[in-house]
Amino acid sequence: MGKKKSEVYSVEVNGIKDIETTNEGDGKEKYRGLKDHLGHKKDHQKELKKELDLDDHKLNAKELEDKYGTNIIRGLTSTKAAEILARDGPNALSPPKETSEIIKFLKQMVGGFSILLWAGAVLCWIAFGIQFAKDKSASMDNVYLGFVLALVVIFTGIFAYYQEAKSTNIIASFSKMIPRQALVIRDGEKKEIPAGQLVVGDIVEIKGGDQIPADIRILASHGCKVDNSSLTGESEAQSRSCDFTHENPLETKNIGFYSTTCLEGTATGMVINTGDRTIIGRIASLASGVGNEKTPIAIEIEHFVHIVAGVAVSIGVIFFIIAVSMKYPVLESIIFLIGIIVANVPEGLLAAVTVSLSLTAKRMAKKNCLVKNLEAVETLGSTSIICSDKTGTLTQNRMTVAHLWFDNQIYQADTSEDQEAQIFDQSSATWASLSKIVTLCNRAEFRPGQETVPIMKKIVVGDASETALLKFSEVIMGDIMETRKRNRKVAEIPFNSTNKFQLSIHETDDPNDKRFLLVMKGAPERILEKCSTIMINGQEQPLNESSAEAFQTAYMELGGLGERVLGFCHLYLPEDEFPDTYPFDVETMNFPTSDLCFVGLLSLIDPPRSTVPDAVTKCRSAGIKVIMVTGDHPITAKAIAKSVGIISANSETVEDIAKRLNVPVEQVNKRDAKAAVVNGMELKEMSQEQLDEVLINHTEIVFARTSPQQKLIIVEGCQRQDAVVAVTGDGVNDSPALKKADIGIAMGIAGSDAAKNAADMVLLDDNFASIVTGVEEGRLIFDNLKKTIAFTLTKNIAELCPFLIFIIAGIPLPIGTITILFIDLGTDIIPSIALAYEKAESDIMNRKPRHKKKDRLVNQQLALYSYLHIGILQSLGAFLAYFTVYTEQGFRPTRLIFLRSEWEDGNINDLEDSYGQEWTRYQRKYLEWIGYTSFFVAIMVQQIADLIIRKTRRNSIFQQGLFRNKVIWIGIASQIIIALILSYGFGSITAMNFTTLRVQYWFVAIPYAIVIWLYDEFRKLLIRRYPGSWWDKNMYY
Amino acid sequence: MTKDEKKPLEQTLGEWKRFIYNPGSGEILGRTAESWGLILLFYLAFYGFLAALFTFTMWVMLQTLSDETPKYRDQISSPGLTIVPKPPGALEFSLNISKPATYENYIDAIKEFLREYEGKKQEHLLQCRNGTFFEQDNIFPKKTCKFSLETLGPCSGLNDVNFGYPDGNPCIFVKMNRIIGLRPQGEPRIVCAVKEGTEVNLATFPKDGRLDLMYFPYYGKKLHNSQCLKSGSFLQESATTIKEPGELSTARSCSPGPVSELQPRSVNRM
């Protein structure tokens, strides 16, 4: 898949000679590691054992035929295949167990505040039941209220469910890719069938580029090489043949694994396992065994719900007791209790939070972060450690020529993504020769029909290094295919690991020159061995000590950069010895392969994406630790880490210090080293404490040569430090780590389906920089959610106070329960969502990630400031409006106090006001509704002020700009319009308790709105003026 | 991870104890004494300011009002009617003349209602001219007109202390609510009609349920400081008696006719 292609040439610089030797042992260790690790999960232990019981690799063809009832030549019969398909099911990984839709829906119905509201609704009905039993003419108000409450719960539940389903659907559509096809032999005929239809016993053919469609036992192979990286993390290509080479089914060469890629060659194999029974399938199912942690925002919201519900219930109960002890009938006290709960619960808030999150998710999707789980939006923002893959995420995932060495000089090549020309000095005659070798000694070819595609994007048939060289030369010299045609190839020896070189012999395009040109490239030291001369400035010079040393220095330097170095040499074959008709034979090598002329070195690297260094710097300033976890070689890993800034330019590893001070590694104080490069082997030996120590002591860490299983260990290590860990991954084996991480990020292009399933987020462009934009969005939404919540909580006090004063001072009820719901779910909804569009107040990428346990979404300051400052101010403004209405109609405040029992007594039809006029109960009721409406309008007006002050938490509104967030103004308009409609449009519908209102009553609360704004500006001013002061600590939320 | 593990009870208790009083930092409920002092001081000042602000805004609002008449009277533009006695629940009287317990409450309520109109209490009141508004815009203090119970005929309680209840001819009083400045046009009266059922003998007092214009207009409690006690001294009262034979009087509704152009809206709901 997206992993680096075959490692054709190995780099052998001092100290890293052990690659090949470690490979084998390493591989085995990894499986053991996997086993050990997964062994902890009891349920899966058996499964894994079964996996290792696989013995098909030991059987010969005949035994296999018998075992699976198939025929190697003719394949299964269609009927038999259909039978097995019916028995085993399709050959596909079963998606992770989804909670059933009903359960999901019910969860929404009982989550959050729903329980509280259900309780309210039920209490309403019970109260009505009792009233009705006592008096058949009892008012239906409580029944309506109960239904409204139930409707609120059901609608917000449906809404949240719908939002979640919508975001799940995005991913579902995304993962439904075009079904893969498999070439299978059935009934003696070759057929293309969807890979999902394969069954055990099928004979399949695979060729280079295919994904292996199931676990297969190789029956015949033609230079078949596979990339098992998605299984083992090993990016080296492994050859596959029909020989039984190892007891361990994972090691033997005659088994090909489901979902791994065939890189080159062809093979025929028999399907031995399908679907979930494949090795990959079993590992993928293990991912579901790793617990899915609650997201930080879910914890925060839960915390907040607890606070609000706690406040609601305790105030409710306290006032229930007060009401009862004030000799109110119990039934009425219950109705007060309901009112208090409804007033206290921000019914619309959770919906607003969901919408805010999904808006951010949409914004992130535009920036190539596809969020599967809405809550993950914020998780990304609180991330404190990112464990990133190297290949493809930090790098471009393609080999590119980075440096050249000729004429005793190192030249740097352009490695950016969209290069169109190379600007190094190309005037030397040596370059002319070198370019010719690079062009000719290369088997890679552009796929035809891509004339219009930019060179760097053209598809090439060939391995990674050759592709890099081909593109490199195409960029500099133009039409390479044409050049090759003019220099016809007469013989060729492809690369193999024993020779470690590749050569080809060409006619030259110079009509006067009848000599053949022999060109060769390969591992530099092998090439140098074959040379006796070296070309300097176009002149062949004998290869002496000093030039050999220059070569060594250059080789070491380039190798030290983690680059893959290739040597190039050539030889013009003398015309007399090798005439036109000379029969070149590559088997006998009837041509010279020594005393060649060394021309130069090219070094290749998978270069970092150009956006990554910036992104890493941003992470650093944002206090996020970036840890690189790669299966690659430490030197390469370190070089890339350095070039992208994961290891900063001036920091050293323990080894670096040792080298600089010339002391053994053991004598270096580990704490002096900022950076650390940890090898997978070392990691295996480490105890948990040692790993913790590494993670704590070093700020810049690279894990190299790690297996995907070790990723899980690293993630757990990070989580032990209380960090919120983001992990990127693409392979199936990454899925446990992705699941375990606080936020798993799968690669959209290179990622396997299993990884995408396990992840919370999919990176559509595989680019690390996209993660950083995601972090920014995540942090912004956290801040904005704070604002939304602060905005929403404020008016709860203004809704609650009326009830409390109603109970204690016995005034006519200032605002009805249904009216409250119209604020919570009507006027306040759009404004609270509008706050999600607020821009950041300062550079949010310049502060530390929030501490999971200390920086809460709803902290004490936020609650106190909303409830006890702005909330109280709002209540006063609303009460002013209320008293104004009553007083102007004849009931002065003094008359209102303790008027309640008479006011509500339906038998009194001549209640006297302050002026001696008499009011019937219906006139009073209507006046009460005017009171509700004016109270409602007063809250609405002050909520506009509240909305404006909530735009910022620290900056002045003028610093933030009143008009930058246009949605706020839509929100304000919506508040006013909804209020107007309710008052003037529905004023005549009695059940709604709204009335038309005199124009001036809309303005009564405006002085308070202004005071709210001034007070908040004052608060912010002091916070800015005196950071760290008592005021800052108590007033900044 | 650890968050899944239930904390042992002692630990939770310990945490709570430490929260209530932390001997290490001297914190009570999460704050030191000094911190508590500061925060309380702040809230004292802040709420002091808020109280002042509210008082001030209320004061400003009250300044805009007149002591004599409320700013708006639109909610009571038409006066409501009050029925005495008030039956429990809906407006349905149900009584059994052979069981005094079913109507004794009614009689008591009526007695209570009429007490204010007893001759003694009205001695100092003005004998006004019938049939015209008693305009006294420039007269201070405002005077109140006498209401003579005699106009209520058999329902006056002067002759029949039981208001006809034991005879099955119960008296029901309908009173018009006081509204400042109300001047009915024409001849205001309350019309009673039989809602359904058989012919009922229905009589209204004063004659035709007329409301005398001399009781209008009302100038408000402050100016119109009548000695009359409880409800509407100068008497928009009109008493109506439903004379009905038979033991039980059920579901009779009395709806007032047009009181000139004033159509008491509240009555419609009665």
Q: What is the CATH number of the domain that holds A748?
A: 3.40.50.1000
Predicted local distance difference test score (pLDDT) of residue B7: 57
Q: Which residue out of A290, A722, A910 would a mutagenesis test of the B interface target, given it has the greatest number of B Cβ atoms within 10 Å?
A: A910
Say if residue A805 is in the same domain as residue A946. yes
User: B81 touching A, CB under 8 A?
Assistant: yes
Reported residue count of chain B is 270
Secondary structure letter of residue B76 according to DSSP: G
Specify if A812 maps to a domain. yes
B contacts of A1015 (beta carbons < 8 Å): none
Which residues are CB-neighbours of B126 under 8 A, at least 6 positions away? Answer: B143, B144, B145, B146
> C-alpha angle A230/A233/A239, rounded to 5°?
80
B61 closest CB neighbour out of A883, A998, A1011: A883
A contacts of B218 (beta carbons < 8 Å): 916-917
Q: Is there a contact between A665 and A683 (Cβ–Cβ < 8 Å)?
A: no
Say if residue A71 is in the same domain as residue A124. no
Which residues are CB-neighbours of A84 under 8 A, at least 6 positions away? Answer: A76, A199, A200, A201
Q: Is there a contact between B71 and B79 (Cβ–Cβ < 8 Å)?
A: no
Say if residue A282 is in the same domain as residue A429. no
Q: Cα dist. A841→A19, A606, A957, A958, A961 in Å?
A: 51, 38, 10, 11, 10
Strands (DSSP E) found in A610-699: 625-629, 675-679
Specify if A258 maps to a domain. yes
Mean pLDDT over each residue of chain A, to the nearest integer: 83
Specify if A8 maps to a domain. no
A135 closest CB neighbour out of B71, B89, B177: B89
* Residue found by looking up tokens 């609180």 in the block: A382
Cα separation of the two ends of chain A: 48
Q: Cα dist. A904→A311, A812, A845, A907, B89 in Å?
A: 29, 8, 58, 9, 14
Q: Which residue out of A303, A801, A894, A917 would a mutagenesis test of the B interface target, given it has the greatest number of B Cβ atoms within 10 Å?
A: A917
The model's pLDDT over A189-220, given as tens digits with 9 standing for 90+, comes to 888 888 888 888 889 988 877 788 888 888 88
**Among all residues of chain A, which has the CA nearest to that of B52?**
A876
Predicted local distance difference test score (pLDDT) of residue B25: 73
Query: In this structure, is the dihedral angle defined by the CA atoms of residues A602, A607, A610 and A613, taken in order, positive or negative?
Result: negative
Highest mean pLDDT among A16-25, A598-607, A762-771, B27-36: A598-607
Specify if A3 maps to a domain. no
Split into its structural domains, chain A has a count of 5
Specify if A472 maps to a domain. yes
A876 closest CB neighbour out of B54, B73, B76: B54
Q: Which of A151, A170, A189 is the last residue of a domain?
A: A170
Q: Is the peptide bond before B100 cis (omega within 30 degrees of 0)?
A: no
Q: Which residue out of A915, A925, A1034 would a mutagenesis test of the B interface target, given it has the greatest number of B Cβ atoms within 10 Å?
A: A915
User: B61 touching A, CB under 8 A?
Assistant: yes
Taking only Cα atoms into account, the Rg of chain A, rounded to an integer number of angstroms, comes to 37
Say if residue A62 is in the same domain as residue A143. no
Q: Residue A652 forms beta bridges with which residues?
A: none
B70 closest CB neighbour out of A869, A888, A1011: A888
Report whether pLDDT(A482) > 90: no
Say if residue A161 is in the same domain as residue A263. no
A927 closest CB neighbour out of B62, B75, B80: B75
Predicted local distance difference test score (pLDDT) of residue B146: 76
B39 closest CB neighbour out of A879, A909, A1034: A1034
Instruction: List the structure tokens of A770.
Output: 């996209």
User: Stretch A228-239: mean pLDDT, rounded?
Assistant: 67
A contacts of B39 (beta carbons < 8 Å): 1034
Instruction: List the structure tokens of A737.
Output: 């780590």
Report whether pLDDT(A50) > 50: no
Query: In this structure, is the dihedral angle defined by the CA atoms of residues A538, A539, A544 and A546, taken in order, positive or negative?
Result: negative
**Among all residues of chain B, which has the CA nearest to that of A1012?**
B50
Nearest-CA distance from A920 to chain B in Å?
A: 6
* Residue found by looking up tokens 């969807």 in the block: A194
User: B19 touching A, CB under 8 A?
Assistant: no
Taking only Cα atoms into account, the Rg of chain B, rounded to an integer number of angstroms, comes to 31
Interface contact B221-A887, CB threshold 8 A: no
* 3-class secondary structure, A534: strand
Q: What is the 3-state secondary structure (H, E, C) of A478-495?
A: CCHHHHHHHCCEEEEECC
Say if residue A518 is in the same domain as residue A487. yes
ipTM for the whole complex? 0.81
Give A158's Cβ-side CA count (13 Å radius).
5
The larger pLDDT score, comparing residue A237 to residue A578, is at: A578
B contacts of A884 (beta carbons < 8 Å): 61
Report whether pLDDT(A300) > 60: yes
Catalytic residue among A26, A141, A227, A389: A389
Say if residue A436 is in the same domain as residue A483. yes
Say if residue A140 is in the same domain as residue A201. no
The model's pLDDT over A513-561, given as tens digits with 9 standing for 90+, comes to 888 899 999 999 899 989 999 999 888 889 888 888 999 999 999 988 8
Cα separation of the two ends of chain B: 68
Residues of chain B with pLDDT under 50: 1-5, 225-270
Predicted local distance difference test score (pLDDT) of residue A672: 80
Q: Which domain holds residue A919?
A: 777-1035
What's the CATH code of the domain at A540?
A: 3.40.1110.10
Q: Is there a contact between B247 and B183 (Cβ–Cβ < 8 Å)?
A: no
B contacts of A915 (beta carbons < 8 Å): 68-70, 180, 220-222
Say if residue A788 is in the same domain as residue A877. yes
Nearest-CA distance from A759 to chain B in Å?
A: 19
Distance between CA atoms of A202 and A78, rounded to whole angstroms? 10
Report whether pLDDT(A890) > 50: yes
Least confident of A5-14, A100-109, A887-896, B218-227: A5-14
Q: What is the pTM of this model?
A: 0.77
Predicted local distance difference test score (pLDDT) of residue A1015: 95
A contacts of B80 (beta carbons < 8 Å): 909-910, 918-920, 922-923
Q: Cα dist. A816→A60, A340, A792 in Å?
A: 84, 11, 18
B contacts of A856 (beta carbons < 8 Å): none
Which DSSP helix (H) or strand (E) runs through B238? Answer: strand B238-241
Predicted local distance difference test score (pLDDT) of residue A43: 45
Q: Which of A710, A731, A766 is the last residue of a domain?
A: A766
The model's pLDDT over A660-716, given as tens digits with 9 standing for 90+, comes to 888 888 888 877 888 889 988 888 888 889 999 889 888 899 998 887 678 888 998
Say if residue A137 is in the same domain as residue A189. no
Q: Which of A170, A186, A216 is the last residue of a domain?
A: A170
Predicted local distance difference test score (pLDDT) of residue A521: 92
Predicted local distance difference test score (pLDDT) of residue B227: 32
Predicted local distance difference test score (pLDDT) of residue A169: 62
Specify if A791 maps to a domain. yes
DSSP-assigned letters across all residues of A440-473: HS---EEPSS-TTS-GGG--EES-HHHHHHHHHH
**Residue A389 falls in the annotated catalytic set:** yes
Q: Is there a contact between B144 and B227 (Cβ–Cβ < 8 Å)?
A: yes
Specify if A475 maps to a domain. yes
The model's pLDDT over A785-824, given as tens digits with 9 standing for 90+, comes to 999 999 999 999 999 999 899 988 999 999 988 889 899 8
* Residue found by looking up tokens 């494949």 in the block: A278
A contacts of B182 (beta carbons < 8 Å): none
Report whether pLDDT(A365) > 60: yes
Nearest-CA distance from B231 to chain A in Å?
A: 8
Distance between CA atoms of A733 and A727, rounded to whole angstroms? 13
A contacts of B222 (beta carbons < 8 Å): 915-916
Phi, psi (5° rounding) for residue A240? -125, 135
User: Stretch A132-146: mean pLDDT, rounded?
Assistant: 80
Nearest-CA distance from B85 to chain A in Å?
A: 10
DSSP-assigned letters across all residues of A714-747: HHHHHHHTT--EEEEE-SGGGHHHHHHSSEEEEE
The model's pLDDT over A287-296, given as tens digits with 9 standing for 90+, comes to 655 555 677 7
Interface contact B50-A1007, CB threshold 8 A: no
Say if residue A511 is in the same domain as residue A636. no
Report whether pLDDT(A598) > 80: yes
Predicted local distance difference test score (pLDDT) of residue A458: 84
Say if residue A732 is in the same domain as residue A663. yes
Report whether pLDDT(A898) > 50: yes
Interface contact A916-B53, CB threshold 8 A: no
Specify if A319 maps to a domain. no
* 3-class secondary structure, A257: coil
User: B86 touching A, CB under 8 A?
Assistant: yes
Least confident of A162-176, A388-402, A728-742, B162-176: A162-176
Percent of all residues in chain A with a pLDDT value above 90, rounded to a whole number: 21
A910 closest CB neighbour out of B68, B73, B231: B231
What's the CATH code of the domain at A873?
A: 1.20.1110.10
